[in-house]
Structure 1
Amino acid sequence: MLENDFERLKYYYEKRWAQKPQLRQYVAFGVITPEEYEGITGEAF
């Protein structure tokens, strides 16, 4: 269903299963890029 971490986290964010602080942690750990964070939340990292 979901091809990669970006798609999975975008889906979770849209369902409100993940929040911005959690997504920031994923950027810090290198799971997603700052650009992907912006693509998910609409806000600059």
Structure 2
Amino acid sequence: MAKKSKFEMVKNFYDNGLWKEKRVRDAVVKGWISPENFKEITGEDYDEQED
């Protein structure tokens, strides 16, 4: 079984209601996903000032 990427893991957690938008935002800060990934996962633009 292939290991999931950080993107897949974060998206799965968000899609299944385990993570809120704030947690996905934290994943961008940690460098796990990009701001573009944030938008793909949440549908919202990533705004650095909200960190």
| TM-score bucket of the superposed structures, by smaller chain | 0.7 to 0.9
Q: How many residues align?
A: 45
Cα 1:42–1:2 shift into 2, 3 Å: farther
Residue type matched to 1:13 in 2? Y
Residue type matched to 2:20 in 1? Q
Specify every segment of 5 or more residues in structure 1 that has no aligned partner in the other structure, as ranges: none
For normalisation by structure 2, the TM-score amounts to 0.79
**Greater shift in the superposed pair: 1-10 or 12-21:** 1-10
Q: Which residue of 2 aligns with 1:11?
A: 12
Highest CA radius of gyration, 1 or 2? Answer: 2
RMSD: 1.3
3-state DSSP class of the match of 1:6? Answer: helix
The runs of 4+ residues in structure 1 deviating greater than 6 Å are: none
Specify every segment of 5 or more residues in structure 2 that has no aligned partner in the other structure, as ranges: 47-51
8 Å Cα contact 1:13-1:40 kept in structure 2: yes
